Amino acid sequence: MKFSVSNKMSFFQPSIFSELAQYKKKKMEEGKPIIDLSIGSPDMAPPSFVRESLSEGVLAQDQYGYSLTGTKEFNKAVSTFYKNNYNVQLESRDEVLLLMGSQDGLVHFPMVFADPDDIILVPDPGYTAYAAGIAMAGASPYFMPLNKENDFLPDLEKIPEDVAQKAKIMILNFPGNPVPALASSDFFKKVIAFAKKFQIIVLHDFAYSELYFEGNKPISFLSVEGAKDVGVEMSSFSKNYSMAGTRIGYLAGNNQIVQAMNHLKSNLDYGVFLPVQQAAIRALQEGADFCEQSRKVYEERRNILVDGLQNIGWDITKPDAGMFIWAEIPKGWNSLDFTYTLIDRANVVVTPGHAFGPNGEGYVRIALVQEKDKLKQAISSIEKANIF
């Protein structure tokens, strides 16, 4: 019997991530000591009280029904967290929505607000889930270049007016993936004015909100005056609290946007496992010390890796936040060839920048997901490869 797939599947070709995984596997089978700095998955465990909460919850007999949505306690914990950390007032009942991780929200969000003839403004380079969501909605992306010359912020004035008139959503991500840049209040004010002028919904992906260095705390989009008039913020427990496998996050902000998303979600799933919600509540309420310790670990890794690579001739800028380094590659290389050369000659895996959009060419993304001894080994291996 012959099976066919929908036309939408043409948007989901085998990705560079799959290709790299296969090539890495091949090298490991050959006995190569591969150091993988390509995948942004935290290598540290969640705080002990989160694990204890989960352990207690899974043993309780009354925790196995459908949660359907976020519990009152979960929504309240999110609103309290925003009040305490960003001085943002959220109505917990209808301005907070539980998600099965931010990936769930990012992919489904365009389906709620965009039709096939619409345009969605996305950062370029940007997180790959943005493209997946746009494809599912049948909409078209308009790439907003993130260039070094503009501090990796989109230049709103360069968006053509006819594009802005057709745009339904603008997606932003600060600190970002793959580019760990930070936005200023002035930039967000320009975004709000732009969104109001052209009636565009703003979705700020805030998944790395707690990963910052040297006191450069990222600004919540919702903390800027007028933000709730035009948009929402989405965050996750995956990176901030090392809870990637538990699949839990939230959407917060404008009431109408949150409730429209809730309408879709109520038809798609039956909520997040109750013990996971309870563990997430504990993370929001008690996780400040854990986040501070995580920042110190990532900052030390950042310093070791950037300083070490600079010493061998790779000119890299230290990021102020996030769990990635966005590294410009030497002239004369393209991102893909450089990536495979690093694997072949140094046994180090990174991600080529073009995987995140056209403007990612000329860069690679390096994840700070290995202990410092592994990072030092990676530096030594790259030096011996004689690439620089």
Report how far residue 144's alpha carbon sits from residue 356's, in angstroms, rounded to the nearest whole number. 12
Sheet containing strand 363-367, edge to edge, reads: 324-328, 363-367, 351-352
Cα separation values, 286 from 53, 281, 292, 363, Å:
12, 8, 12, 37
Task: Kindly write down the DSSP assignment for every residue of 324-354, as one continuous string.
Answer: EEEEEPPTT--HHHHHHHHHHHH-EE-EEGG
CATH of span 7-45+289-384: 3.90.1150.10
CA–CA distance, 8 with 336 (Å, rounded to integer): 26
What pLDDT score was predicted for residue 10?
A: 78
Q: What residue segments make up the domains of the chain, in order of their start?
A: 7-45+289-384, 62-286
Question: Token pair 């920048």 is at which residue?
Answer: 353
Q: Which of 304, 287, 283, 288 is closest to 368 using CA atoms?
A: 304
Give the closest residue to 200 by CA, choosing from 144, 249, 147.
Answer: 144
- As a whole number of angstroms, the distance between CA 334 and CA 37 comes to 19
Q: How many CB atoms lie within 10 A of CB 6?
A: 6
Q: Note whether 226 and 216 are within 8 A (CB).
A: no
Render each residue's pLDDT in the chain as its tens digit; 388 residues.
889 998 888 778 767 888 998 999 999 999 999 999 998 889 999 999 999 999 999 999 999 999 999 999 999 999 999 999 999 999 999 999 999 999 999 999 999 999 998 999 999 999 999 999 999 999 999 999 999 999 999 999 999 999 999 999 999 999 999 999 999 999 999 999 999 999 999 999 999 999 999 999 999 999 999 999 999 999 999 999 999 999 999 999 999 999 999 999 999 999 999 999 999 999 999 999 999 999 999 999 999 999 999 999 999 999 999 999 999 999 999 999 999 999 999 999 999 999 999 999 999 999 999 999 999 999 999 999 999 8
CB of 325 closer than 8 Å to CB of 314 = no
Where helices occur in 60-120 by DSSP H, the ranges are 72-86, 102-113
How far is it, in rounded angstroms, from Cα 281 to Cα 74?
A: 6
Tokens standing for 10? 């043409």
Q: DSSP characters for 215-278? A: T-PPPPGGGSTTHHHHEEEEEESTTTSS-GGG--EEEEE-HHHHHHHHHHHTTT-----HHHHH
Indicate whether this model's pTM tops 0.75. Answer: yes
**Dihedral angle over CA of 188, 190, 193, 197, nearest 10:** -120
Burial tier of 29 (Cβ tally within 10 Å: 0-12, 13-18, 19+): exposed
Which has the closest alpha carbon to 112: 159, 168, 58, 72?
A: 168
Are the C-beta atoms of 346 and 32 separated by less than 8 Å?
no
- Whether 142 contacts 159, CB under 8 Å: yes
User: What one-character DSSP code corresponds to residue 101?
Assistant: S
CA distances from 298 to 76, 288, 320, 322 (A): 30, 15, 11, 9
349's tokens:
């895996």
The CATH number assigned to the domain with range 62-286 reads: 3.40.640.10
